[in-house]
C-alpha cells in the first residue's frame, strides 16, 4: 500500500521515518507535503529513499492512502482532494470532522473511508461494542500540564493564570461538542471517543490543567447495558509538541500495520 503524508511535525515526521525504515512490510512511503518547503526538503534528506515532495494535488493519484498530520485547518482540503481522487484518507485532527460533517457525507457518497486511529487513548473497540447495545453515560477527562493547554481559547479565556497554578484547575466541563471549540488542539481523543460511542452532543468531557503532572492523562468512564468501563491512560507528551502524546504516531503505525495484515485484532 502506497502512503502519502501531509505534515512532518511530531506525528507526521515520526510516521514518515518509521515507514522509511521499513517498519511495516507492505506499506511504502511515496510522498510528503508540508507548509514550509525548506523544512520539508531538509527533512526529506534524513530519509533513506526519495519521495515526492510536491503538493497534495500533484501526488495524491499515486497513493492508496493519504494521512493528514497537519492540523485542523487543513482537514477540509485534504479530505476533499483525497476523496475526489478516489483515495481513502486518515485523519489525526479528528475534531475538524465535527465542524464539517459534510466531509463524512462526501466519503459515504464516494464509497471511500475516513480512517481514525486511536491516537493517545485505548479502548475504542470496547466503546464501539457498547454503542451497539445501549450506552447510558460516557465521560472523558483530559488532564494535562498547563503548558500543553496554553494558547487554546478555553485557557486564554479562563479566570486563572496557567503559569501560577499550584493545584489542578478544571478549565471546562460540558459536552465534547462545546469543549472542542475551546480546546481544538487538545481534545481530538474526546472526539474519537464520541464518534466511537454516542456522539459529541451526548459525550461529556472535562479539561483539567494540572501543574503537578508532566504527562497527558486521559480517563474514560462508561456505563452501558452490557457493563461498565473505566479506562486510565497516562501518556508521555511528544518532545516536539507538548499538546501531542508520544504514542499517537505509533497508533498510526499500528493502524497501518493492521490494514495490510492477514489477521486483524481489535481496532
| Active site (annotated) includes residue 230 | no
If we measure between CA atoms, which residue out of 47, 56, 63 comes closest to residue 2? 63
Q: How far apart are CA 122 and CA 231, in angstroms?
A: 8
* Triad 116, 108, 201: Cα angle to 5°: 60
Q: Take residue 71 and report the three cell numbers written for it.
A: 492540523
- Do 237 and 149 contact (CB within 8 A), yes or no? no
> What's the CA gap between 111 and 25, in Å, rounded?
27
Q: How far apart are CA 165 and CA 29, in angstroms?
A: 44
Here the cell at position 186 is 487538545
CB 220 within 8 Å of CB 230: yes
Which of 87, 139, 144, 218 is flagged as catalytic?
218
Catalytic residues: 218
Amino acid at each position: 500500500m502506497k502512503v502519502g503524508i501531509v505534515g512532518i511535525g511530531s506525528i507526521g515526521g515520526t510516521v514518515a521515518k518509521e515507514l522509511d525504515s521499513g517498519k511495516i512490510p507492505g506499506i511504502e512511503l511515496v510522498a510528503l507535503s508540508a507548509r514550509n518547503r525548506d523544512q520539508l526538503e531538509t527533512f526529506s534528506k534524513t530519509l533513506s529513499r526519495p519521495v515526492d515532495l510536491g503538493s497534495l494535488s500533484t501526488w495524491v493519484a499515486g497513493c492508496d492512502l493519504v494521512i493528514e498530520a497537519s492540523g485542523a485547518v487543513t482537514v477540509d482540503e485534504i479530505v476533499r482532494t483525497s476523496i475526489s481522487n478516489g483515495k481513502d484518507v486518515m485523519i489525526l485532527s479528528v475534531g475538524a470532522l465535527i465542524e464539517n460533517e459534510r466531509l463524512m457525507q462526501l466519503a459515504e457518497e464516494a464509497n471511500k473511508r475516513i480512517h481514525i486511529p486511536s491516537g493517545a487513548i485505548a479502548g475504542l473497540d470496547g466503546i464501539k461494542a457498547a454503542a451497539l447495545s445501549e450506552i447510558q453515560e460516557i465521560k472523558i477527562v483530559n488532564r494535562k500540564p498547563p503548558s500543553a493547554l496554553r494558547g487554546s481559547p478555553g485557557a486564554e479565556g479562563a479566570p486563572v493564570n496557567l503559569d501560577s497554578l499550584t493545584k489542578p484547575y478544571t478549565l471546562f466541563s460540558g459536552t465534547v461538542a462545546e469543549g472542542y471549540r475551546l480546546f481544538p488542539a487538545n481534545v481530538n481523543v474526546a472526539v474519537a471517543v464520541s464518534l466511537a460511542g454516542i456522539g459529541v452532543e451526548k459525550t461529556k468531557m472535562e479539561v483539567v490543567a494540572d501543574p503537578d503532572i508532566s504527562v497527558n492523562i486521559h480517563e474514560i468512564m462508561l456505563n452501558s447495558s452490557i457493563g461498565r468501563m473505566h479506562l486510565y491512560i497516562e501518556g508521555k507528551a511528544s518532545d516536539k509538541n507538548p499538546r501531542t502524546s508520544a504514542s499517537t504516531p505509533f497508533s498510526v503505525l499500528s493502524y497501518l500495520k493492521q490494514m495490510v495484515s492477514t489477521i486483524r485484532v481489535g481496532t
